[in-house]
Amino acid sequence: MVIIKDGRFCIFASLIIVKDTISMKKISFLCFLLMNLSVSAQFLTAHVAVDGLTCSACSFVTQKSLMQLPFIEDVQMDLNTHIATLTFKNGSPVAMDRIAQKVVDAGFSVGGFTAEIYLKEVAVSDNFCFEYDGAIFHFIQTKERNITGIATLTFIGKEFMNKKEFKRYKAAMTAVCASGDKDLKLTKTYFITLK
């Protein structure tokens, strides 16, 4: 359940919901089996910095746009810092790329994107990956560490940050993870980091 490219190991973890929190099991070689299990997880919140606006009418249309997403429970906009705090419906799969697209649809850009997730005894490191709702979440530029608790994941990509910031990560964005389950179609890889 492992590896794909460059001889680097990529370990998939399955996520199991325990009420609102998630316990993540890091499974090295048994992972393949577990990948066949129905896996769902819940991001708790996301913070989206919206670039290109000043006034409250702009924040208003951005908020309206974000609220069209069916998995969003609530959006709170800080009208002075232009950071949107999103909470998600319990149990709904969350698509981070759709969130970023809604900001663009409103006429603006995403300047920064973070999301909170509960991790329990997870050893993260560079190129550690997990799978969630058909997408791979791939850590880059992340120091090796064990995490238990709420982790703030910073999303990396053109659609998730400003150009200047993106340049810092661009070189590290090489997809080395893939699903161990060939029947599972993974359409998206999210590059993330833990700061």
Partner 1 sequence: MKPISFTLIGMLFALSSVFSQELFPVHEPASNIPKGVFGIRGVSESFKEIALARNQFAAKIMYGITANWEVEAQTDFSNHHASTLPVNLVSHSHFGNRVYYFTNNKTYGIEYPYTFGGIYLYSKYRIFSMDRAEGHLRAALFAEYSTTRVAHDEAEPDLQGDTGGEGGGFVVTWLLHKMAVSLTTGFILPNDYKETRDDYRYNPPYFKTDLSYGRAAHFDLSFGYLLVPKQYDSYSNLNINLYAEFEGKAYEAAKIIQNDSVVNPISSALLKGFYVDFFPGIQFIFNSNTRIDLSIGFSFYNHSYSHFNPIYSWGIQRYIFVNSHKAPKVLKQTF
Contacts with partner 1, residue ranges (CB under 8 A): 49, 51-61, 63-65, 67-70, 72, 74-82, 104-109, 111, 162
| Closer Cβ to partner 1, 35 or 96, answer by number | 96
| Minimum distance of partner 1 from residue 114's CB (angstroms) | 15
| Minimum distance of partner 1 from residue 191's CB (angstroms) | 21
| Closer Cβ to partner 1, 6 or 78, answer by number | 78
Q: How far are the Cα atoms of 48, 51, 174 from residue 195, in angstroms, in the given order?
A: 16, 21, 19
- CB of 115 within 8 A of CB of 150? no
| Closer Cβ to partner 1, 19 or 57, answer by number | 57
- CB of 188 within 8 A of CB of 97? yes
Neighbours of 81 (CB within 10 A): 9
| Minimum distance of partner 1 from residue 170's CB (angstroms) | 18
| Minimum distance of partner 1 from residue 185's CB (angstroms) | 27
- Measured at the alpha carbon of residue 119, what is the angle toward residues 111 and 86, in degrees to the nearest 5? 35
**Does the CA dihedral 57-104-130-180 come out positive or negative?**
positive
| Closer Cβ to partner 1, 24 or 66, answer by number | 66
